[in-house]
Amino acid sequence: MADVHSEPFVINLGPQHPSTHGVFRMRLTLDGERVLDMDMTVGYLHRSTEKLAEERTYIQNIPFTDRMDYLSAMTNNLAYCLAAEKLLGIEAPERAQYLRVIMSELQRLANHAMAIGAFANDCGAWQTPLMYMFREREKILDLFEMTCGARLTTNYVRIGGVSFDVPPEFVPAMTALLAEMPRRIEEYASLLTENEILLARARDVGVLSAADAIDCAVSGPMLRASGVAWDLRKAEPYCVYDRMDFDIPIGVNGDCYDRMVVRLEEMRQSVRILEQALAQMPQGPVKINVPLAVRPPVGEAYARVESPKGELGFYLVSDGGPTPYRFKIRSPSYINLTPLKQMMVGHNVADAVIILGSIDIVLGEVDR
């Protein structure tokens, strides 16, 4: 029988695509169904945030940080404000710290709801898990709107505190949400984690070992799913995380299924933190007055937070002027893309889409 001549061909998962989570381009070299090589192109959403920020004052830069990872604006604001506060040498009042923690954890819940839902969507579950999780996300976004007037680009955390105190209807609404969240998360867990088809799709797909994860400097749920017990809320507790009692979930295998399970478990832990924060929050001022064109002393600072995507860091260099001299964003989504090719090669095309979905990137953060 003559040998059938076959050659690899290249398909383009172009920037416009139903499931590349934004404008992200991948060129896959395929041999039949198997991926041989992957070449990615980012930069379709590059808005030169770092350059623009060098021409605006520190307070004017806060809305820029919202729009980077537009699905978790609160933690972006928080990271930047922590870096600016480090430069200035000030600290926010205690009530503001608690509010920051509350908002960060609410944001984590909303983000993971979207991440898990989108992942299940990539696996083919026709938006049913996504729609279920969006119920809770809507309530969380309503809480955000109640507090600061915006659902996604919140611009809430400011240098020296937070911008507004929560209105009186916030606490009852949040208590109601926290009361039903555990039951909802159990519902999602039972629908997703025991599902054989999801197991068949996502188990042993896109495996990243712990050593590789550390070498590629991935962070966040992706690092924890590979088995590395590392969470900035425990390692470098910012705000009042050192007063909260919570666990960090780690995975065993480092595949897409583990990442989903880690995110689900993080949602449960977030509910725990929120209950404690709400109980412990003191009264008091929520903001230190910082001048509009504040000039920090010459120096530099690097501050990092555990955003829902990973370790979000801001490296600010000040030259004594009203605008930052260097505004560097250490974006977790961009760096989490480092092992993408290694994870994809050898799998099917269908798995390629799932692997990209499990990293949970937001192109606003990748491209800045």
Q: Identify residues 21-60 at the interface with another protein (CB under 8 A).
A: 33, 41-43, 46, 48, 50-52, 55, 57
Residue among 167 and 320 whose Cβ is closer to another protein: 320
Q: Exposed e or buried b for every residue in 126-150, given b needs 16+ CB within 10 A? A: eeebbebbbebbebbbebbeebbee
C-alpha to C-alpha distance for 228 and 250, rounded to whole angstroms: 7
Pick from 180, 229, 243, 346: which binds another protein (CB under 8 A)?
229
In sign, the C-alpha dihedral spanning 65, 67, 69, 75 is positive
Position 124 contacts another protein (CB under 8 A): yes
Contact 94, 313 (CB under 8 A): no
CA 56 vs. chain centroid, Å, equals: 25
Q: Least distance in Å: CB of 166 to another protein?
A: 28
Residue among 92 and 166 whose Cβ is closer to another protein: 92
Residue recorded with tokens 């240098």: 159
C-alpha to C-alpha distance for 362 and 368, rounded to whole angstroms: 10
Residue among 169 and 247 whose Cβ is closer to another protein: 247
Cα separation of the two ends of the chain = 55
Q: Least distance in Å: CB of 220 to another protein?
A: 13
Pick from 66, 351, 360, 365: which binds another protein (CB under 8 A)?
351
Who contacts 163 (Cβ-Cβ below 8 Å, separation ≥6)?
148, 155, 156, 157, 287
C-alpha to C-alpha distance for 91 and 97, rounded to whole angstroms: 9
Contact 314, 80 (CB under 8 A): yes
Position 287 contacts another protein (CB under 8 A): no
Q: Which of residues 158-217 bind another protein (CB under 8 A)?
A: 193-201, 203, 212, 214-217
Pick from 131, 171, 176, 179: which binds another protein (CB under 8 A)?
131
Pick from 167, 187, 252, 284: which binds another protein (CB under 8 A)?
252
Position 136 contacts another protein (CB under 8 A): no
Structure tokens given for 214: 């550390």
Q: Least distance in Å: CB of 356 to another protein?
A: 9
* Contact range with another protein by CB under 8 A, out of 70-78, 105-113, 153-161, 244-252: 244-252
Nearest to 151 by CA among 107, 191, 192, 205: 107
Pick from 74, 113, 335, 361: which binds another protein (CB under 8 A)?
335
C-alpha to C-alpha distance for 11 and 102, rounded to whole angstroms: 44
Residue among 166 and 244 whose Cβ is closer to another protein: 244
Binding mask 294-333 for another protein (x = CB under 8 A): ---xxxx-x-x------x-x-x-x----xx-xx-x-x---
CA-CA-CA-CA torsion for 99, 104, 108, 114, nearest 10 degrees? 90
Q: Which of residues 79-98 bind another protein (CB under 8 A)?
A: 86, 89
∠ Cα 105 363 249 (to 5°): 35
How many chain residues bind another protein (CB under 8 A)?
A: 97
* Contact range with another protein by CB under 8 A, out of 65-73, 140-148, 162-170, 245-253: 245-253
Position 105 contacts another protein (CB under 8 A): no
